[in-house]
Amino acid sequence: MEGPAAARRPDAAQPRPDRETEARALLAELGTAMIATGQPVQEIEEELAEVSAGLGYPDVQTAVGPTGLMVTLTPGGPSTYRGAPAGLRLHQSASVRLIRHQLVHGELSPAAARDELAATARRPVQQPAWLVALAWPVLAVGIALILQPGWANVAAAGLCALVVLALVQLAERYEVVKALLPTLAAFSVSLVVFGAANAGLLEGPLRTVLPPLAVLLPGALVVNGMSELAAGHMQAGSARLAYGLAQLGLFALGLLMATALLRVPTSTLANVRVDEIGWAGAVVGLVLIGASICLMEGVPLRMQGWVLLVLSLAFAAQVAGQQIGSIGLGGFLGAIAASLGASVVELRRPLLPRLVLFLPAFWLLVPGSLGLVGVTELAAGRESATDVALGLMGVAIAISLGLLVGSSVGRALRGRLATPVAPLDPSA
């Protein structure tokens, strides 16, 4: 019979096995949800360790990858593996961030947190379907106003975005379309744009192809892969980088198939910028990009102004860097501004997730678009393989370093600017 002395034994103070199982399951579900939001693995491991320490398990060990993770609460103890679900929209990412915040501050029990995570995965966008569909051409028009501000180019970008939207909807129903989506989308858009260029309806078709495809381009994959490699996560970083470059190759394949079918001359594949609208086009484009992303991703109304603020900071820093230096310097400064700006906003408003504020800036940094231009010019014989590879790697490294610098400075500011707030409903 156990007496009072038994309660004082060291092993009696350890958590019960059922509690450990619940904690492991929670960390696995939270971690895979964070993977689905697009966070780099080094940030996921740091934030899971913070949650685990709050649950009473400071010695947690996690192995996070792009497609799943393994977690154990004690060295040599039992572990749990869980695969990551499909990617989450930004409104779902905001809910995941809120759940993590509440767990860290002891405002949510593990059981309730698991229920909230399950509900988040099923939470649809609040806006009507027709409004979300309308955001696709609006986003393409906004990017075109910045990337290729010609009247005919902007109109073509909006039209081609409807073609891409139709293909994306088909991909949700048919696996073969899903597997070939990058090639099919690039082929369809290129047929329209280069056909119009052959007919003399527009100039600079190569840059006009990019805005309708920007939603699908793997810029975030490539940059996240580079940042993970820089942080020492070799397996996750190399896997993500290889996948992103493979996707980029599929886009280039579709584009080159269309140009070969139309017999487009090599000179038409030049990276030419048309500017008929002027500086006002960039301002309007910036607003359209922010509004359309918020619609497509279901970003809550209370976050939309902050999203536009971070977008503006990233754009201003990128333009300044390009003016005083090069594309690489612009990407570096833009990434710092986006990452640090989002971190500072989160520190002051903890329930405005850094990830939700920061990810839309990738639409402006456009590393995937620059990569597609480089691969296309390589295939057209306009550039050497060495020049293209160095250019792509230079831009990706510059943006990755900018992310690391911005996030490092943001972490250094934590504790000085952090402001405790009461929980809010993420769907508000």
Supply the pLDDT for residue 417: 53
- Token pair recorded at residue 184: 């099919």
Query: Which of helix, strand or coil describes residue 61?
Result: strand
Burial of 81 (0-12, 13-18, 19+ CB in 10 A): exposed
For the chain, 428 residues long, the average pLDDT of each consecutive 10-residue run is 44 58 92 89 90 90 91 88 86 87 87 91 82 89 86 92 94 89 92 90 85 81 77 84 83 86 80 78 87 82 80 85 78 84 78 72 60 54 53 69 76 59 44
Supply the pLDDT for residue 188: 94
Neighbours of 260 (CB within 10 A): 10
Neighbours of 247 (CB within 10 A): 20
Supply the pLDDT for residue 324: 84
Supply the pLDDT for residue 155: 93
The pTM of the whole model exceeds 0.85:
no
Supply the pLDDT for residue 114: 92
Supply the pLDDT for residue 373: 57
Task: Report the distance separating Cα 158 and Cα 200, nearest Å.
Answer: 18
For 58, how many CA atoms within 13 A lie in the half-sphere containing its CB? 0
Cα angle value 179/239/327 (rounded, 5°): 90
Q: Are 95 and 116 in contact (CB under 8 A)?
A: yes
Supply the pLDDT for residue 133: 87
Supply the pLDDT for residue 213: 87
Supply the pLDDT for residue 163: 94
